[in-house]
Amino acid sequence: DAKTTQPTSMDCAEGRAANLPCNHSTISGNEYVYWYRQIHSQGPQYIIHGLKNNETNEMASLIITEDRKSSTLILPHATLRDTAVYYCIPIQGAQKLVFGQGTRLTINP
């Protein structure tokens, strides 16, 4: 499994864009980058995933660098309900999710 490095914590003002970086320099060519989040003690929630192209859905955008060694999750207009721990997880196939420490994102009013 590719190792990931994420900031331990980040703050963002409500209504602003939250940009969460992830370093996954050992990612292999067929590993996708998945992002999940966990709002306090709730079950983790899938956000978005990508292989090498940038992706966007109703929740977020995912920017993956051309060398695929890092990615950034963008929450375009953060709300208080986006306060959570965000996990970046490289994965191939129907495998287990390996959760690191993640980034604790706090959205401030």
Provide the token pair at 6: 């994420």
Assess 8 for contact with another protein (CB under 8 A).
Answer: no
Rounded-to-integer distance, Cα 88 and Cα 84, Å: 13
> Which of 49, 55, 74, 106 is the binder for another protein (CB under 8 A)?
49
Q: Which of 45, 65, 79, 108 binds another protein (CB under 8 A)?
A: 45
Q: What is the DSSP letter of 53?
A: S
Per-residue x/- mask for another protein, residues 57 to 86, rule CB under 8 A?
------------------------------
Stretch that binds another protein, among 4-12, 15-23, 36-44, 58-66 (CB under 8 A): 36-44
Distance between CA atoms of residues 40 and 28, nearest Å: 31
Residue 107's CB is within 10 A of a number of other CB atoms, namely 20
Task: Give 33's Cβ-side CA count (13 Å radius).
Answer: 32
Contacts with another protein by CB under 8 A lie at 32, 34, 38, 41-46, 49, 91-101
